[in-house]
Amino acid sequence: MMRTITFLTLPISASAFMPSSYQSRNSALSMSSPVESGLVDLAKKQNPVVGYFDPLSLAEQEFWGQSTDATIGFLRQAEIKHGRVAMAAFVGYWVQSNWHFPWAQTLAGDPFPSIDLSPEQQWDACPLNARFQILTVIGLLEIWDEYGGGNDNPHYMKGRQPGKYPSFAQFRDTVHFVFDLYDPFNLFKKMSEEKKAERLLMEVNNGRLAMIGIFSFLVADKIPGAVPALDSIATPYEGNVMVPFGADFSLSQGTIVGALSFIGILSAANAGAVNAREEVEALSISEIEPKSE
């Protein structure tokens, strides 16, 4: 479970394959400084003591030749998403260390890995197909997010609120019923936007703490004594937490490279489709707009 964290970033990393025409056109979009975009004020609300902290000036860059506005959208989305993953991983680490599902894990009747194993060792002990299923679901969730839920929602680098995961409404209506990830029972439907913004600030702070927490667990297991506070509960792990299939010798390196290549091609195809659609829309607009004499 723990090593799925790294794979969450794959579809995003693959977006570097965007066509150059798409990159150059978007670089002409409006650009904002950290002050103009509200990052400085946002940072003070999140942590009045630390305030705005960007030593590498990432918020002033133009990732993939796009505007700083798009870059800020990417960075904010990435932090919120990885904070949520870290919170789930932190809780999952504690659960996996003390309890496991009592029913069978496979159709053959095999049980879930024993809690005598560390969470990292439990991942290695899971059947290969089970691990692929986990990563497949994560990949599908990523694709749904990148496509804005199949609707006309803008991309998070083009104006969508960072951290706002698309609804599954279109999937429910056309394929199969499934609950939304956020507020599946509409318990917070009447919550004010101010309250939602306040809770998002809390979520970001909790996510930052969780990222530190889960990596502390991983480091303590990998490097004995590296985190003294966790020495009493750390379980030495000889594997590599950054290589999800490192303990499975039946999976060749070529298979991993092929999977990563497929993700890159999928991202490039997505970017190309978006590029073509925007060019068609721009051409249609230019045809109906009167030309100045």
Residue pair 151/171 in contact (Cβ under 8 Å)? The answer is: no
Place of tokens 């059947």: 127
pLDDT computed for residue 230 by the predictor: 93
Q: Which of 45, 90, 53 is nearest to 75 (CA)?
A: 53
Sign for the pseudo-dihedral over CA of 61, 62, 67, 70: negative
Total Cβ atoms within 10 A of residue 67: 19
pLDDT computed for residue 246 by the predictor: 76
135 burial type by CB count under 10 A (0-12 exposed, 13-18 middle, 19+ buried): middle
pLDDT computed for residue 27 by the predictor: 38
Phi (first) and psi of residue 47, to 5 degrees: -155, 95
What is d(CA 108, CA 203) in angstroms, rounded to the nearest whole number?
40
pLDDT computed for residue 36 by the predictor: 75
Which parts of the chain register pLDDT below 70? 1-31, 249-293
DSSP assignment of 229-257 equals GGTTT-----S-TT-TTTT-TTS-HHHHH
∠ CA 94-100-101, rounded to 5°: 140
pTM over 0.85: no
Total Cβ atoms within 10 A of residue 276: 13
The helix/strand/coil state of 104 is strand
pLDDT computed for residue 203 by the predictor: 94
- Residue by residue, what is the 3-state secondary structure of 172-200? HHHCCCCCCCCCCCCCCCCCCHHHHHHHH
pLDDT computed for residue 186 by the predictor: 87
Place of tokens 């977006």: 15
pLDDT computed for residue 103 by the predictor: 92
Q: Which of 226, 235, 212, 25 is nearest to 124 (CA)?
A: 235
